[in-house]
Structure 1
Amino acid sequence: MPAPRSRVAVLVSGRGSNMAALIDAAAQPDFPAEIAAVISNRPNAGALAIAERAGVPTAVVDHKAFASREEFDAALDAELRRVAPDIVCFAGFLRLLTPGFIEKWEGRMLNIHPALLPSFKGLDTHARALKTGVKLHGCTVHLVTAEMDAGPIIAQAAVPVLDGDDEDALAARVLAAEHRLYPRALAAWARGEARLVDGRVTTASAADEPPALIWP
């Protein structure tokens, strides 16, 4: 009998392209996780319509309806507990959460960041990568901790920075990598192939050393 699939809640704020990649992956019968709910802090987020078309339950916890971060986080926590996910995936969720919320869900929250952490934490990652002249850029899936963009790294994907790239061109290349990386990282985490050991994520399927990506 196949192992039960992990229940996943996806938190979104915008268009939801990474969420859509997770929904598409979870539609495959051998994927080890199901998307149980999509929750947005913005009622007009485009991700909600995408999720609804895919038959995924949605909910809105509008941050503007609350007087403080603590009140919003309490309402989000209540909605997550109603859904009862095993894993919470941040997919363009544009809210900094309080330490109290992080503590309740720590070890179960995944985020994708558009840079090769620990480089370029925070915003404007593509512009900063171009300014510094790096030859490789990319994206990172990591566990969410109280320190922004500092949680243990689960998986990364690198893309070349090409001569003549502007911010939009580089962002598009990284986004395509995100759509491949996030489902793969979620699957590894849901299967237990990737797990937290002494503050670092070890991955059973990464035993074979891949060839180096060299650019140019």
Structure 2
Amino acid sequence: MSSNKKRIAVLISGEGQTLQAIINACNAGRLNADIVTVISNKADVYGLQRAKNANIPTHTFLRKSYADNQQMDMAIADILEQYQVDLIVLAGYMKILTATFTQRFEGKILNIHPSLLPKYPGLHTYQRALENHDSEHGFSIHFVNEEMDGGQIVFQCKVPILATDDEDSLCNRVKQYEQRYYPQVIGWFVEGRLSYRTEAYFDDKPLTSPIVEYQE
């Protein structure tokens, strides 16, 4: 691992498709960073195998092994500090982080959420967009704070909803763009273009609204 590269930890809960996109971006030189560890809150998920295939150290933390969420999050935090991480990337991490954890790493946690926040926080976002006959859906990338799917939004990708769409087709199309743009936004952070100092900054100017990409 190169000492001048930013050190990233990726937190997952499942198959790891987004993790794989980040690994690929690092391997191709599009992302000047090292993934120093992958952490999962679920055992035996395929995302852990993806990490092992890329020779990335993995750690699994199961909620049943800890007295409460706080104790589990502090154990994860201690591991992250041992790895001296510069950025924590949530990639399908399906557990709400405690306020103590998010405050400990303020400005160093990014999450991707499959909706155009503040619309549709939480689960089942594709179903909700279709049921409400929305004309577009997409995803948001945001810094993480103690609120679920809260924190300042830095990037959004808007994808039109087609008359023929069902949940699967819409999900697959949105995920395709997630895997393209999440490594790009992470790249902005590791290059110093994106930062957080009580609020998000982009190219040394306060980011007053998210950067938006529109897809046809």
Which residue type is aligned with residue 97 of structure 2?
L
**1:94-133 matches, cutoff 5 A:** 94-133=94-133
**Distance of 1:178 and 1:192 partners within structure 2:** 21
**Distance of 1:43 and 1:57 partners within structure 2:** 15
- 1:54 aligned residue: 54
Deviations 1:145-203 (A, max 9, x none): 11111211121212110002111111111111110111011001111112336624435
**Distance of 2:166 and 2:117 partners within structure 1:** 21
**Distance of 1:193 and 1:212 partners within structure 2:** 18
**Distance of 2:9 and 2:212 partners within structure 1:** 34
Cα shift at 1:134 = 1.5
SS at 2:36 equivalent: strand
Identity of aligned residues (%): 35
**1:184-203 matches, cutoff 5 A:** 184-196=184-196, 199-203=199-203
8 Å contact from structure 2 (residues 115, 121) kept in 1:
yes
- Runs (5+) with no aligned partner, structure 1: none
Deviations 1:19-50 (A, max 9, x none): 11101101123522111110111121210001
Which residue type is aligned with residue 33 of structure 1?
A
Deviations 1:99-154 (A, max 9, x none): 11111011000001011111111111101111111111111111011111121112
**Distance of 2:212 and 2:46 partners within structure 1:** 38
**1:162-201 matches, cutoff 5 A:** 162-196=162-196, 199-201=199-201
8 Å contact from structure 1 (residues 109, 143) kept in 2:
yes
8 Å contact from structure 1 (residues 11, 92) kept in 2:
yes
- Runs (5+) with no aligned partner, structure 2: none
Deviations 1:47-75 (A, max 9, x none): 00011011111111222211211111121
How has the CA–CA distance of structure 1 residues 102 and 27 changed in structure 2, closer, same or farther, with 3 Å as cutoff? same
**1:13-92 matches, cutoff 5 A:** 13-29=13-29, 31-92=31-92
8 Å contact from structure 2 (residues 91, 112) kept in 1:
yes
8 Å contact from structure 1 (residues 15, 45) kept in 2:
yes
Q: Under a length normalisation based on structure 1, what TM-score does the superposition of the two structures give? A: 0.90
8 Å contact from structure 1 (residues 156, 181) kept in 2:
no
How has the CA–CA distance of structure 1 residues 72 and 159 changed in structure 2, closer, same or farther, with 3 Å as cutoff? same
Cα-Cα RMSD: 2.4
